[in-house]
Amino acid sequence: MTMRRALSPFAAACFVLALAPVAVRAQSANVTMSADRTQVNIGDTFRLQVRVDVSNAQAPQPELPDLSAFDVLSQQVSRPMQFSFGFGSQTQVVQSTAVYLFVLRASQPGRFDLRAPRVTIEGREYVGNALTIVVGGAGSPQGQQQPQPQPQQPSSAPPTGTLDGAIYDDQAFLRTVVDRSEARPGEQITVTLYLYVRGALRGSPTITREPTTDGFWVHDLLPPARTLDATTQVVGSVPFRVYVLRRFAAFPLREGDLTIGAPTVTIPMGSVFDIFAGGPQPDVERTGVPLTVSVRPLPDEGRPPGEVHVGQLGLEASLDRTQVPTGDAVTLTLRATGSGHVQALRIEGPQLDGLRVLAPQTRDEISAPGDLVAGTRTFEWLVVPEREGTYTIPPFRVATFDPASGAYRVVESAPITLMAAGNPVGGSIPSAQSDEARPAPPDAEHVAQLGPVRTRSELARGDTALADRAWYPWAVAAFPLAWLGLVIGIAARRRAAARGAQSSPQKVTKEARKRLAVAESHAAQGDARAFYAALTLALRSVIEGRLGESVGSVTHRQLERRLVERGMSDALAKRVVEELEAYEMARFSASAAERDEMQSALARARELIGELDRFVPTAEDER
């Protein structure tokens, strides 16, 4: 036993040293160049950043682009040393970073192409990206092009200064940081969760409870497959390694004080070499602090009517064909591109006499360049001209609000012209050629050869008359009997349909309660998407059963107006629409997947279906 105890540390050391060559990674480098603005006027200042990331080597001095066309106001160089820890791996590698930050001022107009920066490591050259800066005249507009989001440069380093959003601990603590504590509804708030630790980590931290985001629509800004990069920050003269665990964009959905809940993280402290010191250290658990964001309403002064999109936006409408036969369908496409929560855009199709417009199909493309959420929402309507003529589809208009300038703006697309031509109707038009081809009447000589025409004939009946046959009376009586049976059948069908219509609301309510049971099973399994989809189906089925019409192709605002028109109270109609909107938003919210939130939504759905079961709509002719 003594010999085995003496050999166990030696064997462990040999094992670690044997794996050491495998853990060494080849040297690699990544060079990027970016600017906070690529279109400026003379006299404007902007920031240019060149970043060099090198693994397992010291970041060398890069070959920078020529900046003689600009006035260099300041230049900063930082070289933070980083330690990367791969998810699912026990291998630590050293990463060196060099960041060159220039503050430049445009001094002359023109288009300036900056050459790509490059570095050379052990004879191998790594080339970054080129960049173009466009400088306009003093006070000149930046064109009428479609607005593009201005990317912000993400950084893994935590903000320095006052240590807010955290409870300090000398071993490890969490810190939640928001880029702004006040916002408008629909304005992006960037939330970052940092982990501060003094020692090393022997594994990846595990977030056991995500930050709650009730009242927000969120979008993740970090890729799911990534490495944890550590930077060094001194807090009260104590150095900490800082890791970015989460970064997401949160868009407030309502006004008031909204809270970002406190997360909880399990941290595997220590190192793989702890086996020489009696075993690994126990995991520690840390809980962050909640943060409150004050959401102010949009200003009333100058606000356009209707819904307002917060952020920049551009609209582009097009038709796949501008000339079609009457009755043939064309596709009307509207692309809304810009920054902000573009997935919340709701745009109604054109309403023109003579055009039938079907329900739209929507498609979203979301990205986050520089941690600024932007994207494109595409609407596609099928448009059918019902009669010939020329139709002018008016511009689509959306009101926007820019939080930076605090100004409203109405963006619109260009009008589109659609020409519908009537189908040709064939007719018989005599022609000279057909008259010439008509045969001539026979002459008198041929008529004489046919002989005289008989004026009398004796016809002998060779069979019994039809009225004297035995089956004739039954055949005559069959027609009135068939007509009578048809009348009785139609009356019976109408009576059965009336009885079915009287019992259909009860049947629909029963089916809706079955769907609620299915939703409850999805909630027990933690499947939030299927849960909220089942709630939406249950609520819509009850509404359609009561109204006796389909509501799947109408917008939420149109549905609310339709319910009020059919006799529903304004408060109940508003509750129905708000609940449907909440289901739609909940499918994209991380906090909606919590069990308490799903149970609360299920209880509200049961109560709302009970009230809809007692609702009796007015008839169409009573309105």
Please report, for the domain that includes residue 314, its CATH number.
Answer: 2.60.40.740
> Which residues on neighbouring strands pair with residue 314, listed in sequence order?
337
Instruction: For residue 424, give every residue at least 6 positions away whose Cβ sits within 8 Å of its Cβ, in sequence order, or none.
Output: none
- Which residue in the block uniquely carries the two structure tokens 């191998």? 124
- Give the containing element (helix H, strand E) for 602: helix 595-613
Q: Are residues 120 and 43 in the same domain?
A: yes
- Give the containing element (helix H, strand E) for 564: helix 556-565
- pLDDT tens-digit map of 36-55: 888 888 888 888 988 887 77
Q: Are residues 618 and 504 in the same domain?
A: yes
Give the pLDDT score at 200. 79
Confirm whether 409 is domain-assigned.
Answer: yes
Residue 614 has pLDDT above 70, yes or no: yes
Give the pLDDT score at 295. 95
Confirm whether 461 is domain-assigned.
Answer: no
Answer positive or negative: Cα dihedral of 176, 178, 181, 184: negative
% residues pLDDT > 90 (the chain)? 30
- Which residue in the block uniquely carries the two structure tokens 């059965």? 496
How many angstroms separate the CA atoms of 125 and 136, rounded? 35
Q: Are residues 123 and 180 in the same domain?
A: no
What's the pLDDT band for 122 if we cut at 50, 70, 90? confident
- Boundary residue ending a domain (295, 318, 350): 295
Range(s) of the domain holding residue 398: 308-421
Higher pLDDT, 255 or 462: 255
- pLDDT tens-digit map of 487-502: 898 888 877 665 554 4
Q: In angstroms, what CA-CA distances link 400 with 245, 303, 306, 397, 421?
A: 33, 9, 11, 10, 38
Q: Are residues 122 and 186 in the same domain?
A: no
Number of H helices, E strands in the chain: 8, 32
Residue 457 has pLDDT above 80, yes or no: no
Whole-model pTM: value is 0.46
How many angstroms separate the CA atoms of 136 and 112, rounded? 11
Higher pLDDT, 180 or 280: 180
How many angstroms separate the CA atoms of 80 and 170, rounded? 22
How many angstroms separate the CA atoms of 539 and 531, rounded? 13
Confirm whether 350 is domain-assigned.
Answer: yes
- Boundary residue ending a domain (261, 295, 329): 295
- Give the containing element (helix H, strand E) for 612: helix 595-613
Domain count, the chain: 4
Give the pLDDT score at 274. 54
Give the pLDDT score at 4. 40
Q: In angstroms, what is the C-alpha Rg of the chain?
A: 38
- Tokens representing 145 are 């092009």
How many angstroms separate the CA atoms of 135 and 39, rounded? 6
Q: Are residues 178 and 130 in the same domain?
A: no
CATH code, domain carrying 508: 1.20.120
Among 34-43, 270-279, 382-391, the range scoring the smallest mean pLDDT is: 270-279
Rounded-to-5 percentages of helix, strand, coil across the chain: 30, 35, 40
Give the pLDDT score at 383. 93
**Are 382 and 361 in contact, with CB atoms under 8 Å apart?**
no
Give the pLDDT score at 330. 94
Q: Are residues 289 and 313 in the same domain?
A: no
- Boundary residue ending a domain (421, 441, 471): 421
**Are 302 and 405 in contact, with CB atoms under 8 Å apart?**
no
- Tokens representing 457 are 């004939």
CATH code, domain carrying 131: 2.60.120.570
Nearest to 96 by CA among 201, 202, 229, 234: 229
Highest mean pLDDT: which range of 82-91, 205-214, 497-506, 609-618: 205-214
Sheet hosting strand 206-209, strand order edge to edge: 206-209, 264-267, 284-287
Nearest to 190 by CA among 227, 230, 220, 167: 220
CATH code, domain carrying 262: 2.60.40
Q: Are residues 283 and 327 in the same domain?
A: no
What's the pLDDT band for 192 if we cut at 50, 70, 90? very high
Which residues in 419-431 are b (16+ Cβ under 10 Å) and which e? ebeeeeeeeeeee
**Are 105 and 48 in contact, with CB atoms under 8 Å apart?**
no
Q: Are residues 595 and 552 in the same domain?
A: yes
- pLDDT tens-digit map of 532-586: 888 888 888 888 888 878 877 778 888 888 888 888 888 888 888 888 888 877 7
Instruction: Look at strands 416-421 and 323-325 and give their pairing.
Output: parallel
Nearest to 83 by CA among 246, 271, 357: 271
How many angstroms separate the CA atoms of 59 and 99, rounded? 10
Nearest to 199 by CA among 157, 239, 227, 159: 239
Beta strands, E only, 351-406: 355-357, 361-367, 374-385, 389-393, 397-402
- Which residue in the block uniquely carries the two structure tokens 């086996």? 275
- Tokens representing 571 are 């408060």
Give the pLDDT score at 456. 58
Task: Tell me how crowded residue 609 is: count the other CB atoms within 10 A of its CB.
Answer: 21
Instruction: For residue 117, give every residue at least 6 positions away whose Cβ sits within 8 Å of its Cβ, in sequence order, or none.
Output: 31, 33, 50, 52, 62, 63, 64, 65, 127, 128
Q: Are residues 192 and 289 in the same domain?
A: yes
Higher pLDDT, 570 or 400: 400
Give the pLDDT score at 254. 93
